[in-house]
Structure 1
Amino acid sequence: MIRILTVLAALTMGLSAPAQAADPITGQWVTTERDAVVTIARCGSSYCGRLSKYLVRPEGGVNQRDVNNPDPNLRTRKLLGIALLSGFRMDDDLWRGRIYDPRNGKTYRSIVKRKSANVLEVKGCIGPFCQTQVWRKAR
């Protein structure tokens, strides 16, 4: 009887593993500065993260625009709702894509790793040099 239960438990865990591996970075995450929430979800064939909420009212107000964007046509779009993370795809236990910094209008290569159920490690990289932030699950 114990052997049957063990086999059933192993099969159940095996069936749930692909679902857990497929969406490990989705959800709402509070940025390192604790000033905003980024919502990560499926966007077509990859994953993206949108600025979904301000936790601290920005100096310029909540209707700030993407004024530092290198594309003049995008400088009037609101920052709230903008995709900060784009094109993320799973690569072993890492997620690789691009991260946009609206403070300077630049896009960087990015690596995201789920450190625990409540912690994401988010890296923005130029060449071999990366800057790391820790984002925490929003409650």
Structure 2
Amino acid sequence: MKKPALIWLGWLLLLLLAAPVRAQSSVPPADRILGIWVSESKDARMEIMRSGNYYVGKLLWGNRVVEADGKTFKKDVNNPDPKLRTRSLQNIIHLTGLTYQDGRWTDGKIYDPPSGRTYNCHIEWKDGRIALRGYLGFSMLGRTVLWDRPGK
């Protein structure tokens, strides 16, 4: 190959490699949580989306919300609202009301289908992972679950 062709090829390769980095860095910090997440123990999967000024989460799969076959979703039998007890747990919005402030997502609610309870929650960014904390009343009276992007 001639020298100008190698230089042109080098520039093209550099641009192609830099494009994903530019795309990732252009995402506002508040939107880093958007997309699919898998629990650290690999037993649940959710998608976080925007809904107006809030962030919400949709339950895609979880070993506590599917039947023994791993495919058929259970019904929401423990829901405090009797009208909702016959709905499928597939794709329900279980995470609501999160807002981004001071580097974390706060003031949310998370619904736990197996218990039928709704807890307060917040999310913190931890080196490319999210730490979702659900709690009653005070944050120190709760539980944190780490979530990763699929394939990590």
Residue 48 of structure 1 aligns with an amino acid whose one-letter code is V
Higher-Rg structure is 2
CA apart distance, 1:54: 4.8
What is the rounded CA distance, in whole Å, between the counterparts of 2:94 and 2:42 in structure 1? 16
- Equivalent position to 1:47, from 48, 55, 80: 55
Cα pair 2:120 2:136 within 8 Å, conserved: yes
The residue matched to 1:37 in structure 2 has which SS? strand
Residue 98 of structure 1 aligns with an amino acid whose one-letter code is K
What is the rounded CA distance, in whole Å, between the counterparts of 1:38 and 1:66 in structure 2? 17
Tell me the residue number matched to 1:107.
Answer: 118
Pairwise CA RMSD: 2.2
Structure 1 stretches lacking a partner, 5+ long: 1-12
Tell me the residue number matched to 2:6.
Answer: none
Over 3 Å counting, the alpha-carbon distance change for 1:54 and 1:127 in structure 2 is: closer
Residue 127 of structure 1 pairs with residue 142 of structure 2 = no
Runs of 4+ in 1 over 4 A off after TM superposition: 54-57
What is the rounded CA distance, in whole Å, between the counterparts of 1:105 and 1:23 in structure 2? 29
- The residue correspondences of 1:50-61 to structure 2 (distance < 5 A) are 50-54=58-62, 58-59=67-68, 61=71
Structure 2 stretches lacking a partner, 5+ long: 1-21
Residue 47 of structure 2 aligns with an amino acid whose one-letter code is T
Q: Provide Cα deviations, 1:26-48, integer angstroms capped at 9, x if missing partner.
A: 11111244122100011222110
Residue 22 of structure 1 pairs with residue 30 of structure 2 = yes
Superposition TM-score, scaled by structure 2 size: 0.72
What is the rounded CA distance, in whole Å, between the counterparts of 1:71 and 1:54 in structure 2? 22
Cα pair 2:67 2:73 within 8 Å, conserved: no
Tell me the residue number matched to 1:34.
Answer: 42
CA apart distance, 1:63: 2.8
The residue matched to 1:63 in structure 2 has which SS? coil
The residue matched to 2:47 in structure 1 has which SS? strand
Cα pair 1:39 1:49 within 8 Å, conserved: yes
Tell me the residue number matched to 1:98.
Answer: 109
CA apart distance, 1:58: 3.5
Q: How many residues align?
A: 123
Tell me the residue number matched to 1:7.
Answer: none
